[in-house]
Amino acid sequence: MRKKLFIKTWGCQMNVYDSARMADVLAPLGYDRTEDQTQADLIVLNTCHIREKASEKLFSELGRLRAVQTARAAQGVVVTMVVAGCVAQALGEEIARRAPYVGLIVGPQAYHHLPEMLTRAAQQKAGGACVLDTEFPAESKFDFLPQENGNQKGISAFLAVQEGCDRFCSYCVVPYTRGLEYSRPWAALVDEARVLVEGGAKEITLLGQNVNAYHDEASGKRLADVIEKLAAIDGLLRIRYTTSHPLDMNDALIAAHRDVPKLMPFLHLPVQSGSDKILVAMNRKHKADDYRRVVEKLKTAQPKLALSSDFIVGFPAETEEDFEATMQIVRDVTYAQAFSFKYSRRAGTPAAVMPAQVPEEVKEERLARLQALLRQQQTDFNKACVGQKMSVLVENPSRHEGFMFGRSAYMQAVRLKGDSAMEGTEQLVLITRGDPNSLTSEA
C-alpha cells in the first residue's frame, strides 16, 4: 500500500528543490506527497538556519506536529518525524534532546541516506533513539539520487547546479551548514533539465548558494555554458539563476545576458551593504564601487536588466554613516525588488563575536528606513510598467474569476484575462495597472 509523505519547507529555493528531491528518494519506498499533515505516515521538516526565526519556528512546529503524531498513534499508525536541512545540520544534537519524538535528523548533504536511515529507525523503534546523519559524506548525494521523477510539477522548476560556498562572508552559516562549494557535473545538469522540460517545465531557475561560481572541474564549463546549453532545449522558454556573488560575475556570464534571449533580464545580485568599511568586516572582498561597476557592465550588456538584492542592516560596528552609504547605493542602483534583514548573530561565524554589536532598536529603525526606500522603488518600478506590453509566462488560474496568474520577465506577479488553455504559454499583454506587489492586464 502507498504511504503518505508530508513535507514542510522553510527558507530558500534550494530547500524547495531539496524537498522535491527528498520526495524523489522516498517515492521508491512507497511514499506519495500529501498536503494534509493529519494523514501523513512520514513527516519531513526541511529547515533553514540563515537567521534566528527559522529555528524558533522549527521548535514550535515540532510541538504542533507532536499532537498529530499522538493522534495518529491512537489510530494505530506510527508516524516518523524527520528534521532535515540546515537547522538539522547545525543543531542536530539539540533537536534530539529537546524533541525526543523526532525519529531522524538528516543534514543537507546526507539525504540520499534517507532510505537506509528509515530502516535503521524502524529497527530501533522500540528503543526510541533518534537516527542522526549530519556528516559531509565524501561522495556527492547527487550521484546517488534517483532521476528527477515528477516531484517538481508545474511550469517553473528549479535545478541545483552547485551547492555550498567557499566565500565565508563573516555573518553567514552557509559554508558550515551546506559545506564548501561543489559544482555538479555538466552532463548530469543538462540531462536533468531535459527531464524537467519533458515533464512540462517552461522555465528553469538554476540554483546555488553561489551559483555563478559554478565550474565543472572535468570539462571546464562555467555557468554561461550551462545557460547556453539549456537555451538550446526546445520547449524551454525562460532561464534564470540565483544567488550570485558580485565577484563571480565573469565576462562570459555578463555576455550571456546580451546573447541569450531566453535568459531573463532580471538578476538577484546581493550587495549586503553600501559601506566599504562594513563590506571589509563582512569579508565580502569587494568595495561598493566594484559592485556599481559590475552593475554597469551588466546594464551595458542588457539595457533592459532590472535588479534585486539582499541587504543586512545593523552589522557589528555599523554607524549611521555606514547605513547612509547603504541607502545611497540603493538610490544609485535602484532595485525592482529586494530583501532586507536585521543582522542576526549566528553561533560559530566570525561576526557573532565581533565587538560593537548594534542594539536591536537601532537595527529596527534602520531596517524600517531601508524598507521604505526599497518599497518605494518597487512601487515605482511596477507603476512604470503601466501602458507597456509585457511578456507573461502563465502559470495557473487566478483567484479572480476570468483571470489567470503568471509572471513577467522581472518576476512580477501578473493577473491577466484568460483561461486554463493559456497555462504554460507566454502571452504578450498590455499592463493596465501597477500595484506595489503585482501587475494587472485588463486588456
Based on the shown chain and the rule CB under 6 A, indicate whether residue 172 belongs to the binding site for ligand SF4: yes
Q: Which does 168 bind (CB under 5 to 8 A by kind): ligand 5AD, ligand SF4, none?
A: ligand SF4
Size of the site for ligand 5AD (CB under 6 A): 12
CA pair distance 47, 44, nearest whole angstrom: 9
DSSP 8-state secondary structure symbol assigned to residue 187? H
CA pair distance 139, 136, nearest whole angstrom: 8
The number of angstroms, rounded, from the C-alpha of 419 to the middle of its chain's C-alpha atoms is 30
Based on the shown chain and the rule CB under 6 A, indicate whether residue 341 belongs to the binding site for ligand 5AD: yes
What are the DSSP calls for 270-327, one per residue?
--B-S-HHHHHHTT--S-HHHHHHHHHHHHHH-TT-EEEEEEEES-TT--HHHHHHHH
Binding mask of the shown chain, residues 190 to 219, with x at each position contacting ligand SF4 by CB under 6 A? -------------------xx---------
Cis peptide before 349 (omega within 30 of 0): no
Instruction: Report which residue type is found at 13.
Output: Q
Which neighbouring-strand residues pair with 242? 207
Based on the shown chain and the rule CB under 6 A, indicate whether residue 165 belongs to the binding site for ligand SF4: yes
Taken as a whole, the chain contains a residue count of: 443
Stretch binding ligand SF4 (CB under 6 A), from 98-106, 147-155, 170-178, 403-411: 170-178
Between 8 and 167, name the residue whose CB sits nearer to ligand SF4: 167
Q: What phi and psi, each to the nearest 5 degrees, are found at residue 212? A: -80, 0
Between 152 and 209, name the residue whose CB sits nearer to ligand SF4: 209
Burial class (CB in 10 A: 0-12, 13-18, 19+), 326: buried
Q: Taking the CA of residue 357 as centre, how many other CA atoms within 13 Å lie in the half-sphere pointing to its CB?
A: 13
CA pair distance 403, 12, nearest whole angstrom: 29
Between 17 and 343, name the residue whose CB sits nearer to ligand 5AD: 343
Q: Which does 210 bind (CB under 5 to 8 A by kind): ligand 5AD, ligand SF4, none?
A: ligand SF4
Based on the shown chain and the rule CB under 6 A, indicate whether residue 316 belongs to the binding site for ligand 5AD: no
Pick one of 103, 107, 179, 270: the residue that binds ligand 5AD (CB under 6 A).
270
Q: Which does 165 bind (CB under 5 to 8 A by kind): ligand SF4, ligand 5AD, none?
A: ligand SF4
Q: Which does 341 bind (CB under 5 to 8 A by kind): ligand SF4, ligand 5AD, none?
A: ligand 5AD
Q: Which does 175 bind (CB under 5 to 8 A by kind): ligand SF4, ligand 5AD, none?
A: ligand SF4
Q: Which does 245 bind (CB under 5 to 8 A by kind): ligand SF4, ligand 5AD, none?
A: ligand SF4
Pick one of 25, 159, 174, 439: the residue that binds ligand SF4 (CB under 6 A).
174
Based on the shown chain and the rule CB under 6 A, indicate whether residue 276 belongs to the binding site for ligand 5AD: no
Question: What sections of 27-104 are H helices per DSSP?
Answer: 52-74, 86-98
Based on the shown chain and the rule CB under 6 A, indicate whether residue 176 belongs to the binding site for ligand 5AD: no
Residue 150 contacts residue 167 (beta carbons within 8 Å)? no
Residue 442 contacts residue 429 (beta carbons within 8 Å)? no
Between 132 and 282, name the residue whose CB sits nearer to ligand SF4: 282
CA pair distance 324, 309, nearest whole angstrom: 17
Pick one of 96, 169, 211, 307: the residue that binds ligand SF4 (CB under 6 A).
169
Instruction: Report which residue type is found at 174.
Output: V
Q: Give the footprint of ligand SF4 on this chain (CB under 6 A).
A: 165, 167-169, 172, 174-175, 209-210, 245
Q: Report the interface residues with ligand 5AD, using CB under 6 A.
A: 50-51, 171-172, 270, 272, 310, 312, 341, 343-344, 346
